[in-house]
Chains A and B, each alone.
Chain A
Amino acid sequence: AQTVTQSQPEMSVQEAETVTLSCTYDTSENNYYLFWYKQPPSRQMILVIRQEAYKQQNATENRFSVNFQKAAKSFSLKISDSQLGDTAMYFCALDDKIIFGKGTRLHILP
């Protein structure tokens, strides 16, 4: 069975700092996709970043980057120069039906 585990229920960091959100997963598939989704108070799910397992290069989207360790089944999200608008729930997810972790509530403090 596929599982996704986020071990940090809640985190707080100062604005402009860098923060890393952890995610581990389990799957028997060799090729798969991993995602980080952001859910702000508006409740809408927004795709932050996507990683294809067969690609060794870590995905990057502006201030967001991942550290993908396939052997360790780890997929952490790094947010650089954090901004107040980054305050949200962050969900790690695994395909193909998009199995979601329980989320990390991130607070960016002014």
Chain B
Amino acid sequence: NAGVMQNPRHLVRRRGQEARLRCSPMKGHSHVYWYRQLPEEGLKFMVYLQKENIIDESGMPKERFSAEFPKEGPSILRIQQVVRGDSAAYFCASSPPGTGPNEKLFFGSGTQLSVL
């Protein structure tokens, strides 16, 4: 029973390029959450999605960032025209249908984005 899978584990981009981070939730989970972790900081909520719907994107920067969770395939966090300040670890978590973040979240191992 595979856990939450994130890829790539490490991603290096130059300023101005696009970054695409992928998250496959646990089997049977229909809720996905994205968090960003800066060095020596806790995780900060970005967005909460269900299949084909964005439920809460209050933590997403207004520009350059977008997220989707299509009917088929992984959830994608997309960062356009990356800047050095986007360098961080990005974590994905999932939870089963009928639950929310108050229930147990299952986290992936994160994608470390480095912007040169």
Contact = CB atoms under 8 A, between A and B. Distances in A.
Interface stretch (A11-19, A78-86, A89-97): A89-97
A3 B109 CA distance: 25
A46 B110 CA distance: 12
B91 A45 contact: yes
Interface string A7-50: 00000000000000000000000000100000000111111001
Interface residues of A, number: 20
Contacts of B56: 97
A97 B102 CA distance: 8
Contact of A33 (B58, B59, B102, B107): B102
Interface stretch (B13-21, B43-51, B63-71): B43-51
A103 B110 CA distance: 17
A97 B58 contact: yes
Given A45-B107, A96-B100, A96-B101, A101 B45 contact: no
Contacts of A42: 109
A50 B104 contact: yes
Contacts of B42: 4, 91, 93, 100-103
A109 interface: no
A100 B108 CA distance: 17
B49 to A, nearest CB: 13
Given A91-B43, A102-B42, A103-B42, A97 B107 contact: no
Contacts of B93: 45
B104 A47 contact: yes
21 contacts: A4-B42, A44-B108, A44-B110, A45-B107, A46-B107, A47-B104, A47-B105, A91-B42, A91-B43, A95-B101, A95-B102, A96-B102, A97-B45, A97-B56, A98-B35, A98-B43, A98-B45, A100-B43, A102-B40, A103-B41, A103-B42
Given A96-B102, A97-B59, 8 more contacts: A44-B108, A44-B109, A45-B105, A98-B45, A100-B42, A101-B42, A102-B41, A103-B42
